[in-house]
Amino acid sequence: MSYNTILYDVEDNILTITLNRPEKLNAFTGEMLNEMVDALDRADADDEVRAIIVTGAGRGFCAGADLSGGSSTFDHESDGRGLHPDGGGVLTLRIFECLKPIIAACNGPAVGVGATMQCAMDIRLASENAKYGFVFAKRGIVPEACSSWFLPRIVGISQALEWAYSGRVFTADEALDKGLVRSVHAADDLLPAARALAKEFANETSAISVAMIRQMMWKMMTADHPMEAHKVDSRGVYYTGQSADAAEGVQSFLEKRPAEFPGKVSQDMPEFFPWWEKRKFE
């Protein structure tokens, strides 16, 4: 399947999703939203995909929402759509439910939804050419893409508010210093570094374990007591402990050889998964 606004490429069990409107600095559109959600659906269903990298074509990562519609860009009452889920939030909520690790490889400017979409990704790497901006106050709107939930959990409430209050654009070095990104790389080294990290997640690990770990960690961010984690941990160990993956993990260790895990995320997730109720937009 081909897309109009993104590129979808799988190599060595790593999917690279490239935002592909370089002439517009990969500005975000409804079509791009739909294609990214579809790409994540495909990735979850494809057992050959073990990790995902998201990057941008050309010199930018994503310049935020496409503002070519003019001053009414954000006025959904005038365009007849009324109150509805914001597109950035639809994307980050889909990322939140993803079963594969997701790495942001930010190659250039990332403002608005270009910055907020990365907050839902597991690990963020930046090129030295990257810049970030939570510019909503300068556009007369508010942060979207569930970033008021994600961003403070990454950098703390005070730093999140500073960036959102001011709307200023800041450098990759500041993003690194404040904990938004894991590391900063020369432009030519960014994707190789992201791929090297993705390979660590994909090689000699159980796809089932990784999928469970991703959901356990994210879902426990708002648990009100460690007992909630204990409940899920205990069920997770109980069900995965009976699996072919657990048998292979122990046997490969005893035989001092690389593991070859047979489990498939598409069909072998533990029977109690998912353990949460899906939330509705109301």
Residue 105 belongs to what H/E stretch? strand 102-106
For residues 132 and 19, state if they share a domain. yes
pLDDT at 71: 47
Tell me the C-alpha distance between 242 and 272, whole Å. Answer: 13
Pair (79, 215) in one structural domain:
no
Q: Which of 202, 232, 256 is the last residue of a domain?
A: 202
Together in a domain, 248 and 130: no
> From CA 51, how far away is CA 61, in angstroms rounded?
19
Residue 1 belongs to some domain of the structure:
no
Instruction: Name beta bridge partners: 65.
Output: 28
**How many domains does the chain divide into?**
2
Q: Are residues 135 and 239 in the same domain?
A: no
Is residue 25 within 8 Å of residue 59, measured between CB atoms? yes
Answer yes or no: do 170 and 270 share one domain: no
pLDDT of residue 35: 98
CATH number assigned to the domain comprising residue 115: 3.90.226.10
- Tens digits of pLDDT across the chain (282 residues): 789 999 999 999 999 999 999 999 999 999 999 999 999 999 999 999 999 999 999 999 999 986 665 545 665 556 767 767 889 999 999 999 999 999 999 999 999 999 999 999 999 999 999 999 999 999 898 999 999 999 999 999 999 999 999 999 999 999 999 999 999 999 999 999 999 999 999 999 999 999 999 999 999 999 999 999 999 999 999 999 999 999 999 999 999 999 999 999 999 999 999 999 999 998
Q: Of 183, 202, 221, which closes a domain?
A: 202
Does one domain contain both 181 and 212?
no
195 & 260 share domain: no
Domain that holds residue 278: 206-282
Cα 232 to Cα 13, 58, 239: the distances in Å are 28, 43, 11
Write the CA distances from 47 to 18, 199, 262, 266, integer angstroms.
20, 15, 11, 7
Q: Note whether residue 64 is domain-resident.
A: yes
Q: Are residue 52 and residue 109 in the same domain, yes or no?
A: yes
Contact 83, 103 (CB under 8 A): no
Assess whether 174 and 241 both reside in one domain. Answer: no
Burial of 133 (0-12, 13-18, 19+ CB in 10 A): buried
Choose the final residue of a domain: 150, 185, 202: 202
